[in-house]
Structure 1
Amino acid sequence: MNVESLFTSVPVDETIDLIADRVYRDETMVSLLGVLFANFYMGVVEERIFSQLECPLTYFRYIDDSFVKATSTKAIENLRRTFEDNSILHFTLENSVDNSLPFLDVLISSTNEGFQTTVYTKLTNLSMCLNGESECPARYRASTIKAFVRRALSHCLSWTDTHKELERAAEALINNGYSNKQVQREVRTAIDKCRADIVANTKIIGSPRRQQALTNIGRSVHPERETSVEYDSRDVPHTFLSTYQR
């Protein structure tokens, strides 16, 4: 049995009422749709505000956390008040310290050249993860190591910071029951992939400085070969739900 023209035949108003009624009555549905509802609401508020106000120098949002760079603290405070005036929400502010500000798991530092990023870990972080001696499929343990390595390579903009984060990750993993051999194998595999991408002239998204750092790694393998790397002009190597820049 097949429904003819289902998508175009569904009564829109009735379906919306059914969804709203189900969500209102079912706590499970509320929790499942919470992120979708919240993000949609924030997106509409942002559109409304940035159609009226001049956009900050940089604005990124992921769900309920926003990273904003403006010309002054007064401009940021004005933006906060505008958001509250145009919504039912309350917003708090955290200013940068020494030109650095954590955003999610990224520490963003503002320099004369642009943004510099590295992995951010809270002071209370105990570096606990799935134990290397856990009774679980080997692919889960391997995935745990890869997650640490992948975060170092994706979040750190300079090779110096990448190296420091890989050392910190290796220490954390070894303290959680993984062998140094296992960790170094995954690190080598990830770096070799970066080298291969660069030598093959694969397009890698990121900032010019990160591309130069990774290009140097590629040249250390094939010093005789010049490497041309394309990059995206946006300087923060992270994916956000909302992005506004002028």
Structure 2
Amino acid sequence: METKIKEFPLDFQTLPDSHSWNRPPTEEDSLPVCDESHVPVIDLAGPRAIELIRSACEKWGVFRVINHGIPLDLLDQADSQTMKLFSLPADRKIKAARAPSSHGSTGYGEHTVSALFPKQMWYESYSILGDGSPLMEHAIKVWPHHEDDLFLGDLVHILTNGRFKNILHRVLVDKDKSRASRAYFYRPPKEVKISPASKMVDDSHPTIYKAVSWDDVLSAKAKYLDKALESINI
């Protein structure tokens, strides 16, 4: 399976114009940057864990957990394997390039919203849908065989009728070192419609979002980016 990826992966020796982001400041650049030291830290073994999680969801849309039961050596191994993956030669990574049929969700490639920007992102990603499908088997071909943050997403925001925040996640490029993130998405089946829960709706808090599926949200994100939720307002 072959997929052509423009100016990708990020293994060039000189900076091409396609990745040069010389642009004037925008309104978004003036938004406050979250200091990670201020992000709520929640002890999952503590007696107030549920209360603190609810508060963090309402005020922040992100929190950090400790005493989560995941062995630290397992997390270290995941970090090591992640760096091995992206350090592979370009011709090896391209073997698992995302196919159009995967809708940008399975395999190796650039972010699905890249087409919305005039320049290419300093970004490469690798994803696997854990559904045992042939697409998953294709993506696995490239993988070397050898404290955690939780972010709320659009579906939780919709389900709570806007009560729980969906934080704007932005990452800055570091000129001296690379940065890697591992994200695990927990979502309903694609055909299931999500709408504000009845407990979140009353006379003072009318329904603000229509029922949408996971595919609907992905399509809105690909088309409207950070304005996606506005497109599904009632």
* Shared fold (TM-score, shorter chain, > 0.5): no
Query: What TM-score do the two structures reach when normalised by structure 1?
Result: 0.25
Higher strand residue share: 1
If you compute each CA radius of gyration, which structure gives the higher value, 1 or 2?
Answer: 1
Higher helix share: 1
Give the TM-score of the pair, scaled to structure 2.
0.26
